[in-house]
Structure 1
Amino acid sequence: MTVWDRPEPSARPVPLDRERIVAAAVALADEGGLEAVSLRKVAARLNAGPMRLYGYIATKEDLFDLMVDEVQAEILPEELPGDWREAQRVLALRTRRTVLRHEWLADLLGGRPTLGPNGLAVTEAKLAALDGLADIDTVVRAVDTVSAYVIGALRREIASLRAERATGMSKDDWRRASGPHVTKMLATGRFPALSRFVHDATDVDAETSFVTGLDWILDAVAARLT
């Protein structure tokens, strides 16, 4: 039985419900990451005893599922474009914005799908945008391919942001600090392709990189659909 199928107990003596519990957990995660979330800490934030929460949430994994489903509501727009490509693009870009607001989400995406109403609605939107354009197996592979790119790109972007905060060094600071070592290694002549990348490639920001990669993935999906 999933957490969504289990009935909630009556709210006593402190008024509680899953909505308040999940909102508190999301706030804790936004402030300090998933390591800042525990049933004890959520209970303290709600001025309730930790044992009270077990009537609503059986495990931390249940809580994480509810948190993911809660913020997935931010991914869905009021209306999606009718064009399949634009619909997938909108969903991917909104997923990125949601992850940047809730960085911990990057750690939980890509595992088992959440079965809450918002998670199911996001999956429905992705599939529905392609429904009828190809057989269902092709549609599923297309959605999986786009999702794999989005999740991988966002995890890399969040990892980079965390590294900057952990070291106190921006990307430019890190490049200056590592420059002498990189220059020495490239001078050996063992890395000609990497040398061309370092000296000739155009540096782009994270959003441009994400959008460019997304468009390439959608080009590949379009080729399969036709």
Structure 2
Amino acid sequence: MLVWERPEPPDRPTPGALSRDRIVRAAILLADADGLDAVSLRKVAAALEVGPMRLYGYIATKDELLDLMSDAVYAEIQPAGEGWRAALTSLAETTRDAAHRHEWFADLLGGRPRLGPHALAQGEAVVSRMSGIHVDDVMPMVGAVNAYVAGAVRQEITERRAERTSGLDKRQWQAAFGPYLQRLFASGRFPAMSAVVHDAAHLDADRSFRLGLDLLLDGIAARLAR
């Protein structure tokens, strides 16, 4: 029986009342602070000041805990608007916002089953706003947006982590690696890349994300119009 359907054991009032919700909230606090490496049943039990064996009545494995944590974040992703484009835009933006609040969520995007009640409710909210779209096209459209968001968000989070690890902000990174790139471009071996780096607009993360999303949605719109 999946964790979503398995009943919780009767609670014991001492030494500390437990529930799956309380366990998941404690795990999310650990992950928000120090990433998924900080999450284990033992560490969550310590944070709750209970013995690790008490958790096994509620959650059998770390994979179950990750599924519950992911589903809790899906509760924060609330698509809005009417029509397929507004719904998919809202889905993309609210998913990205959730991943920025919980960086570890980016590591799980696309890698965990979306079978929990919050994930299913989110899916229902998106699909119900796509009236007029042929049923065969609905899930490929949603899947394309989810794939774009997962890739874009992972890149953003990876760059954010690299900046923290290196201690270099964007200006310092450019000062450190700029001369190397200038020498390579001056060699004439990479004319296309040189033109893009020198002449293209340098967008911030927000504008880059929205532009990529608009390109994807424009392509979907063109296909629907055919």
Give the TM-score band, short-chain normalised: over 0.9
SS of residue in 1 equivalent to 2:70: helix
How many pairs does the alignment contain? 223
Aligned residue number for residue 177 of structure 2: 178
Aligned residue number for residue 19 of structure 2: 17
Shift of 1:118: 0.7
Q: How high is the TM-score relative to the length of structure 1? A: 0.95
Aligned residue number for residue 119 of structure 2: 119
In 1, the alpha carbon distance for the partners of 2:168 and 2:136 equals 45
Aligned residue number for residue 204 of structure 1: 203
Amino acid at match of 1:185: L
Q: Establish whether residue 220 from structure 1 lines up as the match of residue 222 from structure 2.
A: no
In 2, the alpha carbon distance for the partners of 1:54 and 1:160 equals 36
Following TM superposition, the consecutive aligned residue runs of length 4 or more in structure 1 with deviations greater than 4 angstroms are none
Shift of 1:137: 2.1
CA contact (8 A) 1:30 1:102 kept: yes
In 2, the alpha carbon distance for the partners of 1:181 and 1:11 equals 62
Structure 1 unaligned regions, length at least 5: none
Q: 1:55 aligns with which of 54, 57, 62?
A: 57
CA contact (8 A) 2:74 2:122 kept: yes
Alignment of 1:1-226 (within 5 A): 1-12=1-12, 13=14, 14-76=16-78, 80-134=80-134, 136-226=135-225
Shift of 1:129: 2.5
Shift of 1:82: 1.4
In 2, the alpha carbon distance for the partners of 1:33 and 1:172 equals 26
RMSD, matched Cα:
1.2
In 2, the alpha carbon distance for the partners of 1:155 and 1:30 equals 16
Shift of 1:90: 1.2
Q: How high is the TM-score relative to the length of structure 2? A: 0.95
Shift of 1:201: 1.3
Q: Deviations over 1:154-186 (max 9, x none)?
A: 000000000000000112211110011111111
SS of residue in 2 equivalent to 1:130: coil
CA contact (8 A) 1:164 1:170 kept: yes
CA contact (8 A) 2:31 2:104 kept: yes
In 1, the alpha carbon distance for the partners of 2:66 and 2:75 equals 15
In 2, the alpha carbon distance for the partners of 1:212 and 1:116 equals 31
Amino acid at match of 2:104: W
Structure 2 unaligned regions, length at least 5: none
Shift of 1:26: 0.4
